[in-house]
Amino acid sequence: MKKQDKLIKTFVRIQYAALAQRAGSCCAPEATSARPEGAASVEQLYGKEKLASLPEGATAIAAGCGDPTALAELKPGEVVLDLGSGGGIDCLLAAERVGPRGRVIGIDLTPEMVEVARQNAAAVEAKNVEFHLGEIESLPLEEASVDVIISNCVINLSPDKDAVFQEAFRVLRPGGRLAVADIVALGKLPTTVRGSMASWAACVAGALEKEEYLGKIQAAGFEVTGITETPVNLKGIRVASAKIKATKPF
């Protein structure tokens, strides 16, 4: 791994460990603490009704920019992988959708996040979901072993997005689906933003423009089947929240 990539990942891990620790503490975070300034609220992303079955520990720490479980149109019995599962909100929603015959696997590189996600799963006695420490650039899974991959506001944080999409393609079964919510750049970001570690951890500095992002998904072998974009202002920078669907051809 390149030295700069290692630095980025270490910085990202430290930032998300701090968030997980604040969320796990009885005296700290208000529900808004996981949301970057300018981001939509958790209720806006998911709708109040959908959140009703989740533990407060999962909604308070949610740091996504969409609802990939809705995008993925999950079915009972499916095996789902969440790239960068954080506090587990999307894994828990996916677990409800796939039911007892299905299975949900969350992967995250921050040990504190994995711990919080496990506590949240235990709080609702979810038996069909598991959380593992790991990196989305080298997934600890067998090839063609999952039906659907979801991810929510994570891939922008990776310094090696080619590896992420190649790994996603490897572990997905032929005909399997990829459903991603992520931040994309609208035009060229200022170099001061690109070079800032804090902006990287805030899901801004690592954001690619839509065409480059889609190019990487296609280069890994996927067929892109849909994309929508909603402009957002994150920390004063104009970016967009993108919802992308793709499939692995048979």
Task: List contacts with ligand SAM (CB under 6 A).
Answer: 9, 12, 16, 62-64, 84-87, 89-90, 107-110, 113, 135-137, 152-154, 157-158, 203
DSSP secondary structure letters along 40-61: PPHHHHH-HHHHTTS-HHHHHT
Extract the tokens encoding 62.
Answer: 């949610």
* Of 91 and 246, CB closest to ligand SAM: 91
CB 75, min distance to ligand SAM, A: 21
Q: What is the residue-wise DSSP string for 54-84?
A: S-HHHHHT---SS-HHHHHT--TT-EEEEES
Identity of the residue, 111 or 175, whose beta carbon is nearer to ligand SAM in the bound complex: 111
Residue (78 or 137) nearer to ligand SAM, CB = 137
Give 95 or 157: the residue with its C-beta nearer to ligand SAM: 157
- Backbone φ, ψ for residue 146 (5° rounding): -130, 155
Q: Given the complex with ligand SAM, which of 101 and 198 has the nearer CB atom? A: 198
CA-to-CA distance for 233 and 27, rounded, in angstroms? 30
DSSP code of 115? Answer: H
Q: How far is the CB of 249 from ligand SAM (least distance, A)?
A: 26
Nearest distance from C-beta of residue 226 to ligand SAM, angstroms: 20
* Shortest spacing between CB 19 and ligand SAM, in angstroms: 8
Cβ 98 to ligand SAM shortest distance, Å: 17
Q: Which residues lie closer than 8 Å to 60 by C-beta, 6 or more apart?
A: 23, 29, 31, 33, 34, 87
Cβ nearer to ligand SAM, comparing 84 with 102:
84
Q: What stretches of the chain show up as alpha helix (H) in DSSP?
A: 3-24, 42-46, 48-51, 56-60, 68-72, 89-98, 111-123, 161-171, 191-194, 197-201, 210-219
Structure tokens at 111: 């040990």
Q: Minimum CB separation from ligand SAM for residue 250, in Å?
A: 28
